[in-house]
Each structure stands twice: as structure tokens, then as C-alpha cells.
Amino acid sequence: MPELPEVETVRRGLAPAMEGAAIETVEVRDRRLRWPIAGDFEKRLRGQTVEGLGRRAKYLLMDLSSGDVLVMHLGMSGSFRIQQPGHSGMRAKRADPESINANRDYGFRARGQQAASRNDERNDKPGHFYHDHGKLAAHDHVVFGLSNGATVIFNDPRRFGSMKIVPRARLDDEPLLRGIGPEPLGNAFDAALLAKACAGKATSLKAALLDQRVVAGLGNIYVCEALFRARLSPKRRASTIATRGGEPTGKARALADAIKAVLNDAIKAGGSSLRDHRRADGSLGDFQHNFLVYDREGRPCPGGCKGTVRRFTQNGRSTFWCPSCQK
DNA sequence: CGGCATACCTGCAAGC
DNA sequence: TGCTTGCAGGTATGCC
């Protein structure tokens, strides 16, 4: 699912619910993510206050009062949702967006109702919120119960996502993050930096932009979209947008501008919802309606050039483009 | 080292 | 209807 705009949307959705709250309970229901969740995971999180929620490339970084950072990746199918006290965790069907909040129940357990898990028992008394573990769905792998009553749930059908705890002081040495290129929405990113990263690269522009060492956070959708906006061919050698010294050409400027614009537009729309990506509050992102070429094979070129959007496989993944105006 | 294929995993749609 | 096939938003790993 998620590229930079979707991860940023998730971050913005989770931050208000998590920052300043303590993690009271951690339930790992399936440790088999991309790598097994470490054995001390729960112990290192329990009791910690969430000091901040950041993002680097497609990673979410949860800063904890212990000095640890929880480094999380959504893989292809990961998502978070928040259950607030007083709301059920039922998710609306896509065809029925109005029902998102329709299925309420009480955040206080009715008398005689069984606690759903041992984690609930400590809060299972009148006047205390319980963490609503009773509404968990398939592929809900990690459940955080917060001191403010909210429950934050990580769901990931394909289990390509990951969670790893790293001491903040060693974040710079973390292999998952080390070597990642510039943040495309950061101040440092510009045509010169992009040109330098592409200089000398024999591979295609498409492959170069997918390489997280060149630019952070782009994936298949936004690479296709940025290349279209810049009218550059995905097949072009990456080195051809820089001069020999790594100096930017006009093409590098166009591409850097296109990358920033498409990411900003997508974040503004709350990301793209292809299969079931949602914001953490359950609402859908809208940007998929603004795709110009991605998943639009056979349609007329949206640039009005009389060409047709085509699709071909490049490095094992679908590329969508307009061969008549992307050069 | 750079560039490329492969592997990991589930769900869904299309085709037979 | 039910089966098979291919494809999906990512990235670490291993091979040349």
C-alpha cells in the first residue's frame, strides 16, 4: 500500500492520539512480520510515554520516553487504526462510507460481560476504560493500549511490514535507515541533489527513483506519476538528467519539481486508497482519483498529446506512461 | 560496487 | 461454480 504520502497520512492520523500518552498494554498476536518481532518487544514498550511520532522515508519512528525508538514499516499491506473509547472497532465496508462511525458501543464493559483477554482484566472495573480487544479482525498483529483509553491496532495481511526497537542514540547506525537518500519534501532536496544522485547511473530513471538511496519514500505509483508530470521517459538512463559534474539539467529541475508537487498533492488528499488504505481514523484517502497514468492503461494521455497511456513491465513491476510525450 | 532477479505472504480478479 | 493464474503500494538478499 503505502508510499511516502500514505505513511505521512498515517503519521498525522496517529500522532494526536499517541503523543503524550503512555503505552499501558502491548499485545502481539502474530510475531511473524518481515522479521520476527523480538522477544523483549512488549517489555521495552510497556510503561513508556510516546514523546513523538516521526517519519523517515516510508518508516514511522515512534520516540519513547525510555530513549528507544520504535521503527515501523507498513510493507505492502500494513495499516493502523485507532479505536477510541466509546466506539466499536468495526470498519465500514468501502461501499458504505457513512457507516464508519455507525456501529458504536460503550467503552465501559457491561456488568457480567467477560473480559476479552488478560490485558483487559486490570482495567475491567467500573469507571475505567477497557481496551477493546473484542473487536479485533483477521491480521490484527499488534495492539497497543494507551493511557488515554485509545487502542492502536496494526493490521498487515501480507506481513511484509516490520517493527524493530532501536536506541535513539544508535539510530544513525541502524541498517534499515542508514543509506536512505534525501527526504524529497525536505529543504535540502533540489534539482542539484537529485542530479548528483543520478549522475553516473546506468540504470533507468524509473529504477533510480525507486531506489531509496537516491530519493526517500517514492514507490511505484508516485514514480510513475512524477515521471509523467516531468514528461520524462521511465526508460531514460538516469545519468542523462545530470551533466558530467553532477550538475542539474532542466530535466533534473522538472523532475525534482514534479516529485515535490505530486507528493504534496497526495498528502493534501490524505494519500491514495487502492485496496484498503485508510487514514488511521478510518476515512479514505482521495488521491487515487488524481492519478494521471498509474493504473490508467489504454486511456488517452491526460496531457492532451493524442497519445495513449501504456503499461509495460520494468524491473519486474508495472510502469504506466505516455510514450508519445514522455521523452 | 552496480544492476538485476528472487523471495517473502495473502487476497483478489480474471480467465478457463 | 470452482479451479488456476497473475498481479498488487516494498525491500533485503544473493548472484553475476
Question: Measured between alpha carbons, how far is A7 from A71 in angstroms, rounded to an integer?
Answer: 13
Shared-domain flag, residues A223 and A156 = no
pLDDT in tens, A263-285: 999 999 999 988 666 677 777 88
In a domain, A89, yes or no: yes
Shared-domain flag, residues A143 and A169 = yes
Residue from A297, A301, A303 nearest A320 by CA: A297
CATH code for position A242 = 1.10.8.50
Domain boundary among A173, A200, A230: A173
Kindly determine whether the C-beta of residue A317 is less than 7 Å away from any atom of nucleic acid strand C: yes
pLDDT in tens, A141-156: 999 999 999 999 999 9
Angle between helices A250-268 and A4-18 (to 10 degrees): 40
Shared-domain flag, residues A164 and A118 = yes
Give residue numbers, 176 to 235 of A, with CB < 7 Å from strand C.
176, 210, 212, 219-221
Q: Picking from A46-60, A105-119, A296-310, which range would have the lowest pLDDT averaged per residue?
A: A105-119
Shared-domain flag, residues A52 and A92 = yes
Helix (H, G, I), strand (E, B) or coil at A300: strand
Residue from A106, A104, A103, A80 nearest A281 by CA: A80
Question: Measured between alpha carbons, how far is A87 from A313 in angstroms, rounded to an integer?
Answer: 44
In a domain, A180, yes or no: no
Backbone angles phi, psi at A213, to 5 degrees: -75, -20
> Is residue A211 within 8 Å of residue A240, measured between CB atoms?
no
> Is residue A222 within 8 Å of residue A264, measured between CB atoms?
no
Q: A164 or A120: whose pLDDT is higher?
A: A164
In a domain, A77, yes or no: yes
In a domain, A185, yes or no: no
Residue from A109, A110, A90 nearest A100 by CA: A90
Three cell numbers at A117? 483477554
Across A231-326, the runs of DSSP E, i.e. the strands, are 310-314, 317-321
State, as a whole number of angstroms, the distance between the CA of A152 and the C1' of B16.
Answer: 43
Name the domain count of chain A. Answer: 2
Helix (H, G, I), strand (E, B) or coil at A48: coil
Three cell numbers at A275? 485496496
Question: Measured between alpha carbons, how far is A265 from A186 in angstroms, rounded to an integer?
Answer: 15
State, as a whole number of angstroms, the distance between the CA of A145 and the C1' of B11.
Answer: 29
In a domain, A118, yes or no: yes
Shared-domain flag, residues A122 and A37 = yes
Kindly determine whether the C-beta of residue A94 is less than 7 Å away from any atom of nucleic acid strand C: no
Domain boundary among A126, A142, A173: A173
Shared-domain flag, residues A276 and A215 = yes
pTM of the predicted model as reported, rounded to 2 decimal places = 0.88
Range of the domain at A312: 191-321
Average pLDDT (A307-317) is 95
Question: Measured between alpha carbons, how far is A295 from A319 in angstroms, rounded to an integer?
Answer: 9
Shared-domain flag, residues A136 and A195 = no
Backbone angles phi, psi at A312, to 5 degrees: -150, 165
Chain B positions with an atom below 7 A of a protein C-beta are 2-12
> Is residue A87 within 8 Å of residue A44, measured between CB atoms?
no
In a domain, A112, yes or no: yes
Shared-domain flag, residues A161 and A229 = no
Question: Measured between alpha carbons, how far is A6 from A278 in angstroms, rounded to an integer?
Answer: 8
- The pLDDT of residue A182: 98
